[in-house]
Structure 1
Amino acid sequence: MAELRAFTHGLMPQTTPAIMQAFCEDWAERGVDAWNGVPDRWDIGHQTSWWTLPEDLGDRWISPLLSAAPGTCVLQPNVHWTVAALLSCDEPFDGRTGVVLSEAEFPSVRHNVRQWAGLREINMHEVAASGADVDVEAMLDAITDDTAWVFVSHVGFASGAKLPDAAIRALADRAHARGALLCVDGYHATGSVDVDVNALGADVYVGGLLKEASGSSGNSYLYVRPGLDLRPRLSGWFADADPFGFNAAPEPHPRVRRRFLAGTTAVASMYHAVEGLRVLLGPGLDAVRQDSLDKTGYAIERIDALLAPEAAGASGVHLRSPREAERRGAMIVLAMPDADKMCAWLKTRGVYTDSRRGEVLRFAPFVWNTQEDIDRCVDAIAEALETGAHLRYEAPTEAGPVT
């Protein structure tokens, strides 16, 4: 089997069953008192508890992931919640209405901005994408003295294109010169690209551990630049300065990152949050990044041979993701007719990829994949294009929406 969908859900680390058993033990043995203290199962280095786990994991694991200072990172349930909480903050909108983003942004951002535009005065400036890539120059031009927020993805979810760090820095500098804030969506960079939020100039960086980081769902995160005072109206009682005072009116927690907590946190998911990071941060993300580039580079060489003019059946198929190493994420995107049928047929050959809108086939050779996995994938694609076998394949009707 060749599992090549790191960009949609990472494989389960071998240590995950044991850490989930530890959750059961803590729950069974401590009950309510687990909120006050549990054994340190995450190499945090000091006493932790269910109450403090979102911050403790932020300091121990997310801060090193982003080259961020302690006290700036906190776990979140998902990025959609985090972006909604950011847009609920009044401070960035003081005397401003503008939100600049690209058409290439993930729906967690695009949908949020559209819906919040019905709740507060927002002038949404959605910059047309160049293909599926961010048009950086157009975004720079769109930032004005009225801009409150600029949203941009570190790696594009549709194209797999990595936005150069210099481009993100240019957006940060322009935003700051105009009094705006920059939020970078790093979901498709997390675990596969080394990140330095200070070098990027990000005011806020969001992402999640679901994909290459193999932390599964419920484990997104937020970084807030030191000194940035944000007070989300979507805060919950876990974010209150005096949560057990049960006061009638909320009071923002003195620690900014904790203000982005909501109701009672989902503890079980945080137990397995960092098992994948243990594996990736061992050799270092620079080594993980080089491994990813080597494998995607080899895959592109195989694809180029497959799509050569004399190759049979390759009409209408082309590489949509970048070739240049500095612009590649972990994902390879092939535009092709009937990509959904190709994806379904490849599963019958033990090759697991992903399709979108029947237009593109996506796959990502990651740390758990071998060169043989890549060969198996490209060989199967070549067979299908030559014989048309995927066009004759009828996918099971009971299949769900996720490929």
Structure 2
Amino acid sequence: MFDALFRKIETREARAGVIGLGYVGLPLAMAIARSGFPVTGFDVDPGKIVAIDARRSYIDAVSSDDLAKQIDAARFSATTDFAGLASCDVIIICVPTPLTKHRDPDLSFVEATSREIAAHLRGGQLVVLESTTYPGTTDDVVKVILEKTGLKSGTDFFIGFSPEREDPGNHHFNTATIPKVVAGDGQDALALMTEFYGAAVKTVVPVSSNATAEAVKLTENIFRSVNIALVNELKTVYAAMGIDVWEVIDAAKTKPFGYMPFYPGPGLGGHCIPIDPFYLTWKSREYELPTRFIELAGEINSAMPRYVVGKLAEALDIRAGKALSRSRVLIVGLAYKKNVADIRESPSLRLIEVIEERGGHADFHDPHVAEIPPTREYQALKGRKSVPLSADVISGYDAVLIATDHDAVDYPLLASNAPMIVDTRNVFARRGLAKDHIIKA
């Protein structure tokens, strides 16, 4: 089984199947197709398949031209029919791994996908999990489901883990140029993982086990979560002292060693940093070990939207003599980071909710997000539309709150027409637009 599959990968005859055509799966499918493999994409959302068939990309990291090129070259196709998994030699799982409302791992998508693969599993296939999860998931969950077919990992089929490393909006790196950590269940699986991913990405980093590779991904995001929480906490302390945390960070980063700048904000967003650390927190309970840094970082970052709204209310009261409960606020930036349309776990959604819990009214403007789509936690906000910017529109609000510093926002227009601005991203100071009515928070 191993020799035949290795040769098919080596000669690019192996067909790859990518399950989940979202922010991770579609860019990965394109990178694999560009490397010469035929690729079939699978997704339960028929809307994505319709878009792909129309050669229209819905992901910023994939251009419609590149999508059309791979389709027209017969290197990529997409379907909702999972029966096609039987013809795939390499199957890659790129499905969500969210948290439950109690911050426990929700592996329902991974488990359902694994059962779907098991229904079509045959000898000589390589199954890869890319979804971020706790150490042990690949071997203790996915492998167990697949082996219920009677086929055995390492003998009849092979299984591995390779964590996704996508960074939406980052034009310096893409799927093919970001080093790829790979692992497998046994040396044969690792060899197949290395050969396959080595054909699609520039650098492959093999590690000793699937659990190690799973831990790598968690470590990367825990590192970021803890350091962002640190600067968020420093922001609140320095603000009480009358010290500008942004000036502190800019000066500190001139040190050429021993310091790495992280920046505060209104909270954390995206599918990774607010969620992934708690996968390790949950798993650590099995070993009766606390994860104090992780949990404290989560508490600090989760508290930021309320802190920001508190600063907004204070500014309205002191500078405008108006209560937040009687105020109209325009939030600039709904996406969780600049220059993307991704609103997953965006703190802007929580900012709207907190402002309106306190009796105020909140609208939003985002050049990348025309309308709030359905979300699990903020269903009441569904359908709200981005407000177009003009001098009259801006001056009609009591305050503007900068939540995401998109480049495509007219900041001079805001500075000239907003009665008050609360800036959580230091965007006005960075652009030389600092004025007395602009407050940092």
Structure with greater contact order relative to length (CA < 8 Å, sep ≥ 6): 1
Q: Which has the higher helix share?
A: 2
Fold-level match, TM-score > 0.5? Answer: no
TM-score normalised per structure 2: 0.33
